[in-house]
Amino acid sequence: MCSSPHRRASVAAPFLLCLALAGCQPPAAGGAAAPGGEVSETKVMAASEPARIELGAEPVTVAVPLRPEDNERLLQAAAEPGRLRLAIEGLQLLRPGRAYEVYLNLPEGAAPDPKGPHFLGLVALYAPAGDPAETTRSFDLAPAVQALRERGRWPGEVKVTLVPADGDKVAAAAGPFLRFRRLVLYTR
């Protein structure tokens, strides 16, 4: 179904673009704060500004701000599978029924293609509607970064686009399905 052209919405508009903000802070000393004051060893490279970002019937694009020196670190980390990951934090299910395809640096107006180099994976939550528990979904960025570099299409920035999968399965008028808080680039 994902390869069916008539199922694919263009990401030209409308979409939400959350731009880099200087006030964006990693959770604690470069690591993920955890109950009890313990700190994760994983290292945050960059993160989008925390916000309530809802996913409904239209694609949503969120930018992760990178400083100039971060790009070199990103490319170094992405040279090895599993070292550089993108996390979607604070995910919550608002109502069941729709998954979202996640793309890295999908050009505006391009047709999303799960078989293409921009595709990172799916976000599909299975929980009671309105479940307050937040979860995190993360993806290895190495395959997409390497594929885009090989094609000469690495733009030196990180924009993540979430596109509703199976667009004709669920009525769009009833509101958003998922929401999340921020995107985090981190290394392991």
135 exposure class (CB count in 10 Å sphere: 0-12, 13-18, 19+):
middle
* DSSP for residue 28: B
CA distance linking residue 30 with residue 9, whole number of Å? 37
CA distance linking residue 50 with residue 133, whole number of Å? 17
114 cis-preceded (ω within 30 degrees of 0): no
- Window 155-184: residues binding another protein (CB under 8 A): 165-166, 168-171
| Binding of another protein by 51 (CB under 8 A) | no
| Binding of another protein by 129 (CB under 8 A) | yes
CA distance linking residue 107 with residue 15, whole number of Å? 13
HEC readout, 172-188:
CCCCCCEEECEEEEEEC
Q: Which of 37, 109, 130, 152 binds another protein (CB under 8 A)?
A: 37
CA distance linking residue 32 with residue 15, whole number of Å? 29
Instruction: Report the residue number, 53 or 87, with the smaller CB distance to another protein.
Output: 87
Q: How many chain residues bind another protein (CB under 8 A)?
A: 70
Query: Taking the complex as a whole, how short is the minimal distance between the CB of residue 65 and another protein, in angstroms?
Result: 10
Decide if 163 contacts 103 (C-beta within 8 A).
yes
| Binding of another protein by 96 (CB under 8 A) | yes
Instruction: Report the residue number, 60 or 178, with the smaller CB distance to another protein.
Output: 178
CA distance linking residue 128 with residue 135, whole number of Å? 13
Query: Taking the complex as a whole, how short is the minimal distance between the CB of residue 153 and another protein, in angstroms?
Result: 21
Q: Which of 63, 104, 140, 181 binds another protein (CB under 8 A)?
A: 140
Instruction: Please choose, out of 8-16, 55-63, 68-76, 151-159, the segment that lies near another protein by the rule CB under 8 A.
Output: 68-76
Q: Which residues bind another protein (CB under 8 A)?
A: 1-4, 7, 26, 28-32, 34-46, 67, 69-70, 72-73, 76-77, 80-83, 85, 87, 95-99, 101, 114-115, 119, 121-122, 124-129, 131, 133-138, 140, 165-166, 168-171, 187-188
